[in-house]
Amino acid sequence: MNTDTFMCSSDEKQTRSPLSLYSEYQRMEIEFRAPHIMPTSHWHGQVEVNVPFDGDVEYLINNEKVNINQGHITLFWACTPHQLTDTGTCQSMAIFNLPMHLFLSWPLDKDLINHVTHGMVIKSLATQQLSPFEVRRWQQELNSPNEQIRQLAIDEIGLMLKRFSLSGWEPILVNKTSRTHKNSVSRH
């Protein structure tokens, strides 16, 4: 049973919308750890950013296999059911859970935002845009009692995604049912 109150799991009996607002003001969270295989898929309302630093990992996202390559930044809207199925040799991975309102407020490429909000998984073309040092620092600063330090970390993460947006990216999983994207129509 999933004990994280911010996540919904495919083995839960209660129905809960992955888009529902959670407490703690939709906090940004960062995990820096060894990846672990998930027994079931789960979903939540944030944008998830994954960076495996020392090996490739494999996810099942909306019942499609997705390889996340070492050193690449990958992001998707986590309201899509996802499950880490193969950790490979990876021992060090960053996982960011970004509140959607923050993601939408940052000055990012409109096509990138449109792709993410329409269920696509996006991968950076360049590797090594982010270091474990930065991830650990941001993780620590997000828990600082100083509001300005917390905001600085959030701003720097937004700039990291701006660099991601400007440095080149590609969709690696395309939501096959998205008519609105094919028609270039979005209500976001």
For the segment 100-142, what is each residue's pLDDT rounded down to a tens digit? 999 999 999 999 999 999 999 999 999 989 999 999 999 999 9
From residue 150, give the alpha-carbon distance in Å to each of 50, 107, 130, 141, 164. 21, 19, 19, 5, 21
pLDDT in tens, 56-77: 999 999 999 999 999 999 999 9
pTM here is: 0.81
DSSP 123: E
Give how far Cα 46 sits from Cα of 25, 76, 104, 128, Å: 12, 9, 11, 23
Exposure of 102 by Cβ count < 10 A (0-12 exposed, 13-18 middle, 19+ buried)? Answer: middle
Give the start-to-end residue ranges of the domains of the chain: 26-170
> What is the topology classification, in CATH, of domain 26-170?
Jelly Rolls (2.60.120)
Q: Check if the beta carbon of residue 158 is closer than 8 Å to that of residue 98.
A: no
Nearest residue to 156 via CA among 102, 114, 104: 102
